Amino acid sequence: MILKNLKVLVFFMLASSSAWAGSGQLSVGATYDGWNSNYAAPAQDNGYEVFVPLSISFQIDPQLNIYSQGEFMTAADTYTSGGVNGTYNLSNFSDTVLGGELNFKSFSLNSIANLAINIPTGDTTWNTKEQSSIVPTQFIDSRYSGRGLGFSAFYGLSLPEGRGEYSAGVGYLYSGAFNPSYGTVTTTTSLQLGDAVFLALNRVTPFENDQNEIIRASVYQSFPTYSNGQAYYQLGTNFNASYDWNNPKALSLEVGGQIYLPSAWSNNGGPLTTESHNSNGPRIYADSTYVFGDFSLMEQIKYIFQNDYAVGDQYYNGGGFLVGIEPAYFFKMEGDSGLKVAADFDFVDANNYGVDASGDVASVNFIMWTLATSYEIKL
């Protein structure tokens, strides 16, 4: 409760203090997510989420920007397990992120440093509950965060080249231990997610009318995840690459892909062993957005290649795809404020994601729809 009150106090201090010399931006929104599936047993049926995100940032001077973000969420996820129907409920703040971004010169090159702290103001039990009660996170990211104290740090610099520039950056992600246990579902009392280091390389080429060509490449190296002090999982190294053509007044397009090396697991408390069948198949995606004045239309496609992986004595042929569309409209208001309204529809086909009543693997289809609005104002 102290941390929640501190978070709210910081928000209002930043929004009302007359000591700040720079400018800032406040954004508050409201979003409804609903989903269902064709999977009747033994796990997921349907659910909904309503959340109110809040973020604020201040440009203290041309070199320093500070920011904070969090959200309040209420949710209900219906499931069927072991022939028993139930509902997971949530009504809580998420974790809060406080951070700062500094622009400076190093080696006579434009540089940037970013440090963010994750304050555990959320409900840690929800991270475990939601695993069996939401659309698979390999297709759609979880909207709620309730984890331990952690931080992220990033340092990058840019090298001018012709009319464009190259940029390179290195970062580190740290997650502190937290307790996700609830009831008798799990005996985990201390979970520490795997830390990670990452390297990012970009090439940006500007064109007329604010158009840009961006080529990105990155690699993430994860460290072991610990449960009750015992290393039991380590995500395989992740490689990413993408091409982005950005046109804020017409068509923008991004295509990319991800490849994971096999992960490692511990068997009954033993040492980590690299899996013989990769549990994370390679994936590709394509997003496009077309802007018609204040109206925009975004389409997205994501395909995860099939991959054989073992759970017990059964081998699953995973993978699947997502297709989605999102129309949005931006209402310009007085001053520098504006209201954005959007709707999103996503269809997910997850190969062999579930198990039917006979114990055989079964594919699952999900439909998710979103209604969202956000209000932005300059401070």
- Contact predicate 133/112, CB 8 Å: no
Q: Is 340 left (phi over 0), alpha (psi -120 to 50) or beta?
A: beta
State both tokens at 138.
Answer: 């390999």
State both tokens at 18.
Answer: 């007359």
Whole-prediction pTM value? 0.85
Q: At a CB cut-off of 8 Å and minimum separation 6, what does 269 contact?
A: 230, 232
How confident is the model at residue 86, as a pLDDT? 72
Q: How do beta strands 84-93 and 64-81 pair?
A: antiparallel
Nearest to 293 by CA among 250, 244, 231: 250
Handedness of CA 141, 143, 149, 154 (dihedral sign): positive
How confident is the model at residue 197, as a pLDDT? 97
Instruction: Write a three-state SS string for 199-249.
Output: EEEEEEEEECCCEEEEEEEEEEEECCEEECCEEEEECCCEEEEEEEEECCC
Ordered per-residue pLDDT tens for the chain, 379 residues: 333 433 433 333 333 333 344 578 899 999 999 998 887 654 556 889 999 999 999 998 889 999 999 999 999 887 655 556 677 788 889 999 999 999 999 988 999 999 999 999 998 888 767 766 788 888 998 888 888 899 999 999 999 988 899 999 999 999 988 888 755 445 667 888 899 999 999 999 999 989 999 999 999 999 999 988 889 899 999 999 999 999 999 999 999 999 999 999 888 778 999 988 788 889 999 999 999 999 999 999 999 998 766 555 555 667 899 999 999 999 988 777 899 999 999 999 998 887 777 777 778 899 999 999 999 888 7
Q: Is 319 left (phi over 0), alpha (psi -120 to 50) or beta?
A: left
How confident is the model at residue 37, as a pLDDT? 85
DSSP 8-state class, residue 128: H
C-alpha 167: how far from chain center: 23
In whole angstroms, what is the distance from residue 371 CA to residue 192 CA?
A: 34
Instruction: Write a three-state SS string for 312-355.
Output: CCEEEECCEEEEEEEEEEEEECCCCCEEEEEEEEEEEEEEEEEE
How confident is the model at residue 30, as a pLDDT? 96
Nearest to 344 by CA among 373, 369, 374: 369
Measured in degrees and rounded to the nearest 5, phi and psi for residue 2 equal -60, -45
State both tokens at 170.
Answer: 């290195």
Question: 309: which strand partners?
Answer: 316
In whole angstroms, what is the distance from residue 148 CA to residue 124 CA?
A: 8
Neighbours of 67 (CB within 10 A): 19
In whole angstroms, what is the distance from residue 244 CA to residue 205 CA?
A: 11
* Cis upstream peptide for 42 (omega within 30°): yes
- Contact predicate 50/29, CB 8 Å: no
How confident is the model at residue 310, as a pLDDT? 58
Delineate the domains of the chain, giving CATH numbers in brackets: 2-378 (2.40.160)
